[in-house]
Amino acid sequence: MEAEYLHATVDKFVFKVKTGCWYSKAGLWVRLEHGLARVGISDYVQQSSGDVAFAEIASTGTKLEQEGYLGQIETIKVAIELLSPVSGTVQEVNEELETSPELINQDPYGQGWLALIALSDWEGERASLLEAEQYLAVMRSQAEEAAKRI
């Protein structure tokens, strides 16, 4: 039976990677739901960014390009620009984040989702994304690199 998450331990941190999603190298995940793509940030990105205070996501109807601007999260320490992992049109934005941005930290793969996107070129773009096992390796390298800088 497939486990829900893969894990990587780096330093005193453990990072979860949800199976069944695709990932950009920057750590945004994509999950297909009835032909639409729900996107969010990975556990590694939320842990390394800190407690989220604000989440500003492109509004409904916005046309996105892959690697184009999706939005920004501001934590108590940093502001991070988020680049969309897919092209398409924003159908829905997670309005809960307006009053409860901590959902991104508490449940990055679930209630902390950012946007629901109608895809415009999934077949063309899927190959450029990483499957969970591939992202685990990439993320682990990123985390190890970051740990060396301390």
Partner 1 sequence: MSEPKPTDSDRVLIIPCSGIGKAFGSVGREAAYLVLEELRPNDTGTVCLSLLTMGDEESQQRVREQRTIAIDGCPKACARVNIEHAGAEPAAIFRVFDVFRAHKELRVQQVSDIGENGREMARILAEEVAVKVDELRGGKE
Partner 2 sequence: MPDLPEKRVGLIACSGEDLPVGTVSRMAVLQVLERLRPQDTVTLCLPLFLAGEERERAFARFYPTIAIDGCSKRCAARATEHYSARPAASLVIDDFIAEKGLPEPHGLRQLDAAGQAVTQAVAQELAHEVDRLLGKKRPTVVEVEAQAPDAEGEPEGMVVATCSCGSGIPVAQLQVNGRRVEILALPAILDQFREMGKPVNDATAGELMDAVKLYNHLPNEEEAGLREAVLSEYTRYIAAFDPASATS
Interface residues toward partner 2, by CB under 8 A: 1-15, 47-50, 75, 77-78, 132-133, 136-137, 143, 146-147, 149-150
Q: Does position 148 bind partner 1 by CB under 8 A?
A: no
Q: Which residue has the tokens 């780096």?
A: 10
Binding status of residue 98 toward partner 1 by CB under 8 A: no
The nearer residue to partner 2, 34 or 77, going by C-beta atoms, is 77
User: Among residues 11, 51, 81, 121, which is the contact residue for partner 1, using CB under 8 A?
Assistant: 51
Residue number, 87 or 142, with CB nearest to partner 2: 142
- Does 14 participate in binding partner 1 (rule CB under 8 A)? no
Contact 73, 7 (CB under 8 A): no
**Residues with Cβ < 8 Å from 31, sequence gap 6 or more?**
18, 20, 21, 22, 37, 38, 39
Closest to partner 1 by CB, 92 vs 107, is 107
At 78, the amino acid letter reads: V
Residue 76 is classified by DSSP as S
Which of the 8 DSSP states describes residue 42? -
